[in-house]
Amino acid sequence: MTLDARGKPRSRRRTVFVLALLAAFPVAVLSLFRALPVEWPTPVVQMLAFTPWMVLPAALAAGLGLLSRRRWLGAVAALLLLAQLFWLFPLDFARSLPRAADAVELPVMSFNSEYGQADAAEVVRLVRENGVKLLAVQEHSAAFEAALERAGVAGLLPHRISSPTADAAGSAVYSVYPLEALGLLPDTPFHMPTVRVAAAGGGRSASFEVTNVHTLPPVDTRIAQWRHDLAAVGRVGAKPGHRVLMGDFNASYDHLEFRQLLDGPVAAGTDGRRLVDAGIANNSRLIPTWPMEGMVLPGVVLDHLVTTPEIIAAGYSVHRVRGSDHAAVIAILAIPAG
């Protein structure tokens, strides 16, 4: 057996070196994709959704790099780990304005029912137990609407604007408060309606607009439509007024296209404020919303509650619902009165 100057087997050091390289290589490749502001092809876009989990092999590579006593490898692995942590906990995660003293609070919930196959009674239970006052449903079907009615949703959320379909295009918004339909986003395969909500509470009232988001997933040749859908949602978010964009974005914070959506300047703001993702603002980057059923994959965050910066989101939580591959997302929003 060959020993090094300290009496340790060189073969063991060589093994640690090789393991460190194997751990660092996929992290380095995905980090390159994540760092470059490029519209990548479909396979890369799909891989980027799993970027948060690269912190694990990055940490392993950093540890093995130190054990290998190869300074250059240790330095590279440490930089890769720092990059993962920077992306996992972005410095600008909380870009909300100070909370308004006279805000109206309301719990809201977004849920993709997976073709209406989800357990409607469980959805209604979540609404009841969390005091949800506004519910946005994606992939809404006539059968799911009927199941929600049987489960008692009308007694909790009596106002509804819905467009159920037999495929994934359907949508619905249920509310305690009156709703006014403002139209659909144009040129999107899935229905993405915007509704005005007249909320009230504690002797205050607040008006805001909600867009029920469901972009086409980035698969095969439809990736161009996915980019179009996200850009269309971003344009709605940039309009004046208090706005909530909630639903299945089929995108994560690690997608350039989603970050561009968040970073589009709000029309009424001149101070550089941008849209705020409630999950990121509440340090929930590693709480997945998909897949809850079906494929065995590391979970990723595809469902989001995005608000204009004057709306404060707290109490963010994620809930599994039987029958759907997406989790329900709940947050308590504070809407400025007026």
pLDDT tens digits, residue range 182-196? 999 999 999 999 999
Nearest of 304, 305, 297 to residue 325 by alpha carbon: 297
Whether 126 has a pLDDT exceeding 60, the answer reads yes
pLDDT of 264 reads 80
158-173: b (≥16 Cβ within 10 Å) or e = ebbbbebbeebbbbbb
Q: In the structure encoding, which two tokens stand for residue 296, read together?
A: 């065995």
How does DSSP classify residue 336?
A: P
Average of per-residue pLDDT across 41-63: 95
Specify the higher pLDDT residue, 73 or 266.
73
Separation CA 292–CA 31 (nearest Å): 26
Mean pLDDT of 201-205: 85
108/11: higher pLDDT:
108
pLDDT at 96 over 70: no
Coil/strand/helix, residue 298: coil
- Residue where the block lists tokens 């993709």: 112
pLDDT of residue 43: 96
Q: How far is CA 225 from CA 34, 232, 279, in A?
A: 21, 10, 25
What are the residue ranges spanned by the domains of the chain? 10-88, 104-335
Please check the confidence at residue 271 and state whether its pLDDT lies above 60: no
CATH architecture of 104-335: 4-Layer Sandwich (3.60)
pTM: 0.92
Categorize the per-residue pLDDT at 73 as very low, low, confident or very high, splitting at 50, 70 and 90.
confident
Cis, bond preceding 291 (omega within 30 deg of 0): yes
Identify the pLDDT of residue 16.
87
Q: Are 238 and 266 in contact (CB under 8 A)?
A: yes
The listed range with the strongest mean pLDDT (17-31, 144-158, 295-309) is: 144-158
Q: Are 196 and 175 contacting, i.e. CB atoms less than 8 angstroms apart?
A: no
Provide the percentage of residues in the chain whose pLDDT is more than 90.
77
pLDDT digits (tens, 9 = 90+) for 134-164: 999 999 999 999 999 999 999 999 999 999 9
pLDDT at 285: 85
Backbone φ and ψ for 62, nearest 5 degrees, come out as -65, -40
Q: Give me the pLDDT at residue 90, please.
A: 82
**Residue 118: pLDDT above 80?**
yes
